[in-house]
Amino acid sequence: MSVTSSKTANGQPASAAERIQNHLGQGTEYLRQGAGKIRLPEFVLFFLLLFTFQTPGIKLPFNQVVIIVIVLYALIKKPVYELGKFQNLALTTFAALGYVSFVSLTHESSSGAFDWQRRLLRLLLATLLIWIIASGRIHIRSAIVGYITALLVNVPLYYAGLTPNNYKGYLTGYLLDKNVAGLAYCIFGLLALALARRRAEIILTIIIFATILWLTGSRTSMAAFSMGIIWIVLAKRLPVWGRLVLGLLIYLALGILTEDYSQSSRFGDRAGSDWFRAQIDVASQVKVENTGIFGRGLGEAYVYLHHDNKVWLFHNSYWSALVEGGWPWMLLVVGISVFCLVRPFSNASRWSRDEAYIQGAGVALLICAQRLGEVFYTWMWAVCVGYAIRAIIISRAAGTIHEQPGDKDGIDGRIPLTKKTTLLTPPAAGTPGVTR
């Protein structure tokens, strides 16, 4: 007999041992049900995205090779959802790749520029990743859980001395860079909230990822994580004008938060690195101001500093997009980030639970992009955009019915078929509530 209550069969209060057994039984059942919602190929492939070392025999990072495998794996599967009105956006993103390719071809690369063809490959993979996730070719729950698991495993391995340690005193591990680590733990910490269902799980998730973010030492990511949570909690309760005010307040609060971080004991010894970053920003701004409307081409978002005779990437993703592809490219990537991820002008009463949490990740991405040069059109950004579009498609097709009890936690549940539903494939046999 399974123990399902804090009382015995005769109605008497359960003993401490029985209560412990009850909680253990519930925990085991919860884990069993959760494991049953995981598709192994996606879990393993996204777990492997943690590893960024150079692939032997191939001049590509290992995680980029994994993304190629993910895309090929997804393309052999049939889509679950039609893109509907997003079909035009899909065509626009591929056309934009043609545009930045043309800009790169017609502009002579500067001496320190990075290989624009390899850069184009990354952009192409990110674009494909958006639309295979949006169309349901990837089991998004398994993908998110896979990478979150890898991120959590990375922590003990780092402190056990089994991973690279490129920033003494700050958690990096297999992510190699503390700012990349901060971005990963920030964004997937917010996405992890979409997997939680109980309040205790949500609080525990916030505590775990906030602690890990502190260990990375990435001030921007810590602030972004905090602001993402604030948006998740408040935005759905506000009208459009209220969300715009909230966005303004978040922007103003960022300066205060980051300044407080810089003065804390943990970051008080980083005046030298802050000065160096400022020099990169000054040089980057000069390059931005001398860039034409259509940009300089892919791989040009860098500066050369005479202080150390080295080439450095921009520390601002908005500037990176502007220099590489000009105003058309920058407006496109920022527009997708704002109107697909955050959606400040949409009807909050129609937001599903998934949409609310994705918006928090979108806010965090926009914040991180201010201080990190590799945010837009990364695979992390692509996962968020694809997941967001997928959630919008589901909500438009069937409201928020996928959130009801008994489904697959919403995040990968099948929705009932209606006349307006854009499912391409029918639900599995035995799915309740199917109508035609």
Report whether 144 contacts 155 (CB < 8 A). Answer: no
Look up tokens 């937001």; give the residue.
Answer: 351
Task: Tell me, yes or no, whether 57 lies in a domain.
Answer: yes
Torsion of CA 158, 161, 162, 164, to 10 degrees: 70
Q: Are 181 and 172 in contact (CB under 8 A)?
A: yes
Q: 294 lies in a domain? A: yes
304, containing H or E segment: strand 302-305
86 domain residue, yes or no = yes
194 assigned to some structural domain: yes
**pTM score of the predicted model:** 0.82
Whether the Cβ atoms of residue 296 and residue 307 lie closer than 8 Å to each other: no
Separation between Cα atoms, residue 218 and residue 175, nearest integer Å:
13
- For residue 68, what are the domain limits? 40-403
For each of the chain's 436 residues, which pLDDT tens digit applies?
344 444 544 555 566 666 555 544 444 444 444 445 789 999 999 999 999 888 888 888 999 999 999 999 999 988 888 888 899 999 999 999 999 999 999 988 887 778 899 999 999 999 999 999 999 999 999 999 999 999 999 999 999 999 888 887 899 999 988 899 999 999 999 999 988 878 889 999 999 999 999 999 888 899 999 999 999 999 888 898 999 999 889 888 886 666 555 555 454 455 546 777 788 888 888 888 988 899 999 988 888 776 666 788 888 999 999 999 999 999 999 999 999 999 988 887 778 888 889 999 999 999 999 888 789 999 999 999 999 999 998 887 754 333 333 333 345 554 333 334 444 444 444 443 332 2
| Pairing verdict, β 302-305 and 310-313 | antiparallel
Which uninterrupted H or E stretch holds 254? helix 240-263
* Cβ-based neighbours of 371, under 8 Å, separated by 6 or more: 179, 220, 315, 316
Q: Which residue has the tokens 């998730």?
A: 205
CA distance 305 to 286: 13
Question: Residue 145: inside a domain, yes or no?
Answer: yes
425 within some domain:
no
Distance CA 140, CA 259 (A): 37
* C-alpha 56: how far from chain center: 28
Say if 392 falls within a structural domain: yes
Q: How far apart are CA 258 and CA 222, in angstroms?
A: 9
Six-digit token pair at 36?
A: 């049953």
Is there a domain that residue 389 lies in?
yes
Query: What CA–CA distance (Å, rounded) separates 346 from 396?
Result: 12
The count of structural domains within the chain is 1
Using an 8 Å Cβ cutoff, are 163 and 173 in contact? yes
Q: How far apart are CA 23 and CA 300, in angstroms?
A: 56
